[in-house]
Structure 1
Amino acid sequence: MVEVSTFERQVQLHLSPNRSATWQQTKFLILGFALFISTIAIAWALVGAWVILPFAGLEVSLLAGIMYAVSKATYQWETVLISQQSITIYRSNGASLRFPRQDTSLYFLTDINKQRLPRLVLQTQLQQFEVGAFLNSDDKQRVHDSLSQAGIAVCSNKWW
């Protein structure tokens, strides 16, 4: 998701991944899977196949771990603040980067074979940073358009 704000001759882009479920909803889904898998495992254990119980527990644990990691990843964000002198990027992990506006270009790198999403890279001679790596293709295009409208020079690896 891309939210664009303009205030006092500054442009702010707040970038966050699209989230279809909250952590509370994810916990309910994990609980539902755990109950379903446990019911099947207990039924097999009652008919004598008790060896299934540790594997069912492992399955539920792995599923819960993966769902937790995916849910946690949807809560990351980046804020890009474009002023007259600089471009500052604030990240959800507490890191921040500052680029001088005059020397910074946006590289819009598209995959020629259309197998990967395009990449948005802010770059100077000394540093580079991929903006919105977690965004989908439409959101990356919106960031591209917003940065272009804000006066950032845009370069592309595709000239045709």
Structure 2
Amino acid sequence: MVSSSRSDASLVIIAKPNHSSSWRTNKLALLAVSVPSLGAAIGFTALGAWPVLPFAGAELLALAGALYYVNWKLEYRHVITLDDSVVSIDKGHYAPKRRWRFKRDQVALAITPEKHPWEGPGLSVHGNEETVRVGEFLNRDDCLSLMALLRKELLVRTHSPMSRIKL
């Protein structure tokens, strides 16, 4: 998903993966699975088949861990801020973990054509010394939307396969 907002002197573009459900919805789904699973496990435990209960607990714990991990991965985002003198790119989950800053007059956009019609083009912002990929987790439509936003703001200096990329 790509969203943008423009203020007086800057443009902020936020690119993040599409969510199928929120963390609250995942917790409700876990609860919906837990009630019958634990109900059956407690019933079997009451009948003397006690080894069923730890396996049911382990199964629910694994499901909860998987749901949390997927939700955490989907909170990853790229925040690209373009103002009059600086282009900054922040990447991270919930808060920026990595940050790049480029002078506006020394930055350009590199576009790598897609290898397959379902994929989106590869997008990189590069300065004099460093190249940063942006939006690599986006689907084709969102990637094209991000490319259109960046093309309006940055020069496109390369439109070919990339040779070296730093992540």
User: Please, what TM-score do these two structures have when normalized by structure 1?
Assistant: 0.79
1:68 lines up with 2:68 in the alignment: yes
Q: What code does the residue aligned with 1:144 have?
A: M
In structure 2, relative to structure 1, the CA distance for the partners of 1:57 and 1:131 (3 Å cut) is same
SS of the residue 1:102 aligns to: helix
1:14 is paired with a residue of what secondary structure?
strand
In structure 2, the partner of 1:99 is 102
Does the 8 Å CA contact 1:45/1:53 hold for their aligned counterparts? yes
Count of equivalent residues: 158
AA in 1 matched with 2:52: I
Structure 2 spans left out of the alignment, 5+ residues: 162-167
Amino acid of the residue matched to residue 38 of structure 1? L
Q: 1:134 to 1:31 in 2, by over 3 A?
A: same
The runs of 5 or more residues in structure 1 that have no matched partner are none
Tell which deviates more after alignment, 112-121 or 24-33: 112-121
Relative distance call for 1:87 and 1:46 in structure 2 (3 A) is same
Aligned match of 1:134 in 122, 134, 137?
137
Identity %: 25
Check 1:54–1:156 CA distance in 2 against 1; reply closer, same or farther (3 A cut): farther
Q: What is the Cα deviation at residue 25 of structure 1?
A: 1.6
The match for 2:81 is: 81
Q: TM-score, normalised by structure 2?
A: 0.76
Shift of 1:156: 3.0
- Matching residue's letter, 1:121: S
Whether the 8 Å CA contact 1:104–1:153 is kept in 2: the answer is: no
1:98-139, Cα deviation, whole Å (9 max, x unpaired): 022333232233452568654322223421222123322211
**2:123 alignment counterpart:** 120
Sort the Cα spacing of 1:29 and 1:125 in 2 relative to 1 into closer, same or farther, 3 A. same
